Structure 1
Amino acid sequence: MRILQLCKKFPFPLKEGEAIAVYFLSRGLVEQGCTVDLLAMNTSKHFYAPSDWPAEFSHYTEINAVKVDNKLSTIGAFQNLFSRESYHVSRFDTPEFAAALSEALARNNYDAILLETLYLAPYIPMIRSKSKAAVVMRSHNVEFAIWERIIANTAPGLKRQYLRHLTHKLRRFEIAQLKKYDLLATVSAHDLAEFKRLGYQGYHLVAPIGLDLDRYPVQEPDVLQPLSLGFIGSLDWMPNQEALEWFIQKVWPMLRRHFPELVFEIAGRNAPAHFLKHKVPGIKFTGEVPDAAAFMAAHPISLAPMRSGSGIKVKVLEAMALERVVLGTTIALEGIPAQDGKEFFLANTPEEYVQQLLGLRENPHLARKLGKAARALVKREFDYRDVAKKLLAGIERLD
């Protein structure tokens, strides 16, 4: 089977969730005997020089990264106020990428076109007109749901009104696409249930984000030597910004009163300027790190204070694979069949963060027990080979 994988950004380096999800699925499909080509947008924000294709991508038969300028602009945002189009989506609908897709469809006879996220949906009409390939939407999130949660946590005012306007158009677009897919593959049962509630009646399956545990060697955790928290993620992603602002303002002061020695290190690229101005005792902003797994392994406790977002949080899965203690919210664990106190510790309020850390300090052996259970869960539910097999079987049933 020959598959064309479409991406809204070049999926490298393997430091953030979307890139990891794209990489391991494509690798798994190739290991199942498929031929997989990659056609990605090479955006100014995530630009990757064509001369430096990573060695990890040798499993692809063809790679094409199309230079696309989709920067947010004040003028574009203002003009979109008078359009029915979703500004979230329209920035990814470009003539350059359309031309590259048209050439790929003319050159190769594909069995399936794999759309990685909703933002590739504008190209479905072209695919239908130029190919008989099955259209597979791999939904990483319920996109509009992310923004609805952000709005719920935004203070009343012009910003909230504008976000509501954008989200209304995104929601309308996302629902309208549901009837266009041959197969909808969501990363979680939670997201699939939401799409069904919104009216999706077509063929579907859950194909979660997969990992290769060989890439996550285990170091035994010790929650007392020293007691430290770590957070890693893209700091230009609004749900991450929102989560950290809330944690620093609402949770951290209470934690420091109970744990004066506690250290919290934050890593990630593209941190906004106001983040770097935080001068809070015990908190360190490290910026982008060369090895995300090594960073997580260095901290016994991985923090996931998400208050918005959708889909599966890959950094939570990675921390679990490394046998770290994940301390996070209900939203952070959505789509992951883990139990509070068995594979992670749940904390939605400042008081719950304090209680969970007090429990760990009094019973440090729980860290090792929980970490091993978490890694076992990842091996059982999120092995990239199993995910690829499941998706491939679903595509084959479309014939």
Structure 2
Amino acid sequence: MIKPKILFVTPILHHPPIGGPTLRIENSIKAISQISELYIYSRVAVNGMGGNMAVEFYKTYCHHLYFAPFVNPQSNSFKKIQTLFFRMINKLSREIFKKNIFSIHHQESEKDYQHLLAIASTIKADIIWLGCGNISYPLLKYIKDNSNAKVVLDTDSVWSRFILRGLPYAKGDKQYQQIYQTGQEKIAEENWGTKLADVTTAVSEIDAEYYQNLANDSRQIKLFSNVIDLESYQLIPPMPKGFKNPSIYLAGTFGSDSPMDDAARWVINQVLPIIRRKIPNIHFYIIGNGSDTTLSDIQDPQITITGKLESVLPYLCHVNVALVPLRFESGTRFKILEAGACKIPIVSTTLGAEGIPVTHENDILIANEPDDFAAAILKLINDQELAEKISTNLNKLIQQYYSINSLVKEGQEILAKLLN
């Protein structure tokens, strides 16, 4: 049987994965490569995706790896000097005006989009698959306006929910209005984008229901879940030097006023003091891109904030409890999938576990208030039998529903819909 040709287009790409979005993209590529003749079109430069090692890694999964023109390295020395000059001016501007004057990020143009369509035509692609579809609506519109290509818009969440769930946590009227306006703009994109794409993917039944209400035909919406490659979690790495137990762990991508920043501060300010009354020497590990910047004001010898790491596993595999204390977010959590793969018990808020069929006290502990959240952590640390039961059951659930093989089956259903 001849496999369909897929041009997988992504604005996020990195190896090894350094967070949920890069983990989703990598595992999507692993699954799609099994059911298609795969070509990758990177909207990320070589140095941004992890260097030549990353290039060679992704080449093992595709027939060819292309790069968008706007991410090609600039050999022009004037361009480099100009960028350094802009950065210097921006630094002064931030000190005086609290904002940048110049944008030094690469910007995609119509010429870049034309290049993408030219590649699709050259390889005779049957499908253009837009990874990180939530931020690819302008590209979707261009493709549909200028070609007859079948397009999969691959979403990792309902982005408008991600934004608007932050409204209760806005700091003042100005931020409230900014969040509201941005959320409404994203709702508008989701409305026309879901109708325009041949298939829009959803990571859970909850997200699928949202997109089905926007689609021309509910059959346009297909599941394409967040999964993990279980083989990547078989070897337990040694614990970091100076690692301390008993310990709790939080990992993600951080930024000012982000869901992860809010989650970390909620634990530090409201949950951790309760735990310390029972376990004074508890250690809290906070890991992830931007954590060391957004939480730079936290000075506590019993809190370790690492910033971005090449791998979270040396920490995750040796903690007592992993936390998912999210109060606003959307999608499904790789934090739960990774902890489950490593057989580490989890305490999560209801929202943190959204979209994953976990059951309180069977494969996870759910708590939404500081007292309850702290009590759940203490229960898992003090009751080893319960911790083993929770972590073992979650591991079984991950193996059954959230493996690469599961994603392959979902991908086959998408191809059947598009190619029949």
Distance 2:299 2:280 in 1: 16
CA contact (8 A) 1:115 1:121 kept: no
Distance 1:198 1:30 in 2: 30
| Equivalent residue, structure 2, for 1:48 | 49
| Equivalent residue, structure 2, for 1:100 | 115
Larger radius of gyration: 2
Distance 2:395 2:276 in 1: 29
Distance 2:45 2:52 in 1: 16
- Deviates most, 93-102 or 146-155: 93-102
The aligned amino acid for 1:233 is: G
CA shift at 1:68, angstroms?
5.1
Match of 2:186 among 162, 170, 174: 170
Taking structure 2 as the reference length, the TM-score comes to 0.82
CA contact (8 A) 1:236 1:272 kept: no
CA shift at 1:280, angstroms?
2.8
| Equivalent residue, structure 2, for 1:24 | 27
CA contact (8 A) 1:10 1:65 kept: no
Gaps of 5+ in 2: 73-85, 238-243
Closer/same/farther in 2, CA of residues 50 and 107 from structure 1, 3 Å limit: farther
CA shift at 1:397, angstroms?
2.6
| Equivalent residue, structure 1, for 2:41 | 39
Deviations 1:14-71 (A, max 9, x none): 1211111111122122223x11111122279x823664434431111121233459x9
Match of 1:333 among 341, 353, 365: 353
Match of 1:216 among 233, 242, 245: 233
Residue 362 of structure 2 corresponds to residue 342 of structure 1:
yes
| Equivalent residue, structure 2, for 1:3 | 6
Distance 2:115 2:394 in 1: 42
For 1:234-245, list aligned pairs within 5 A. 234-236=253-255, 238-245=258-265
Deviations 1:303-341 (A, max 9, x none): 111111111111221111111011111111111111111
Taking structure 1 as the reference length, the TM-score comes to 0.86
CA contact (8 A) 1:247 1:305 kept: yes
For 1:370-385, list aligned pairs within 5 A. 370-385=390-405
Match of 1:201 among 204, 213, 217: 217
Distance 1:183 1:11 in 2: 25
Closer/same/farther in 2, CA of residues 4 and 280 from structure 1, 3 Å limit: same
For 1:1-399, list aligned pairs within 5 A. 1-32=4-35, 34-42=36-44, 47-48=48-49, 51-57=52-58, 58-66=60-68, 67=70, 94-95=109-110, 97-116=112-131, 117-129=133-145, 131-198=147-214, 201-203=217-219, 204-217=221-234, 226-236=245-255, 238-271=258-291, 273-398=293-418, 399=420
CA contact (8 A) 1:254 1:354 kept: yes
The aligned amino acid for 1:271 is: S
| Equivalent residue, structure 2, for 1:86 | none
User: Secondary structure, in 3 states, of the residue corresponding to 1:288?
Assistant: coil
Distance 1:265 1:272 in 2: 11
CA contact (8 A) 1:5 1:114 kept: yes
CA shift at 1:375, angstroms?
0.8
CA contact (8 A) 2:246 2:320 kept: yes
Distance 1:50 1:78 in 2: 28
CA shift at 1:271, angstroms?
3.0
The aligned amino acid for 1:12 is: H
Closer/same/farther in 2, CA of residues 274 and 314 from structure 1, 3 Å limit: closer
**How many residue pairs are counted as aligned between the two chains?**
380
CA contact (8 A) 1:139 1:186 kept: yes
Distance 1:167 1:94 in 2: 25
Closer/same/farther in 2, CA of residues 251 and 25 from structure 1, 3 Å limit: same
Distance 2:292 2:114 in 1: 34
CA shift at 1:123, angstroms?
1.7
Closer/same/farther in 2, CA of residues 112 and 373 from structure 1, 3 Å limit: same
User: Secondary structure, in 3 states, of the residue corresponding to 1:397?
Assistant: helix
Distance 2:66 2:41 in 1: 5
Distance 2:347 2:111 in 1: 43
CA contact (8 A) 1:9 1:42 kept: yes
